[in-house]
């Protein structure tokens, strides 16, 4: 496979996407507060709980956590 070919690029991209998926995991908690998503600034704010769905890798909401502690417990379960 030639280094500058489209096939080479696509194979490299798929390898990187697989690695990114492993790093980011399958669950996320997003802060539901005004002023950005800095979780440490809003420890008592509720969190939207998201989970990666199937082979498409899209994120779907699965619930809401009351605060950072509840979201952390869900992420680590």
Read off the pLDDT band of 67 (50, 70, 90): very high
Residue 54: what pLDDT? 77
**Cβ atoms of 57 and 64 closer than 8 Å:** no
1-37: per-residue pLDDT in tens?
677 789 888 888 878 776 665 556 788 899 998 876 6
Residue 24: what pLDDT? 62
> Mean of the per-residue pLDDT values for the chain?
83
- Report DSSP state, residue 46: -
Give the start-to-end residue ranges of the domains of the chain: 6-75
Residue 59: what pLDDT? 86
DSSP helix/strand/coil, 51: strand
DSSP helix/strand/coil, 33: coil
Task: Give the number of other CB atoms < 10 A from CB of residue 24.
Answer: 11
Structure tokens at 21: 């998926």
d(CA 64, CA 46): 7
Residue 68: what pLDDT? 92
């Amino acid at each position: 496979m030639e280094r500058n070919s489209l096939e080479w690029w696509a194979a490299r991209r798929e390898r990187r996407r697989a690695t990114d998926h492993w790093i980011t995991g399958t669950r996320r908690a997003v802060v539901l507060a005004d002023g950005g998503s800095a979780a440490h600034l809003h420890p008592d704010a509720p969190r939207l709980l998201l989970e990666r769905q199937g082979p498409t890798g899209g994120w779907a909401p699965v619930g809401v956590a009351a605060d950072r502690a509840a979201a952390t417990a869900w992420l680590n379960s």
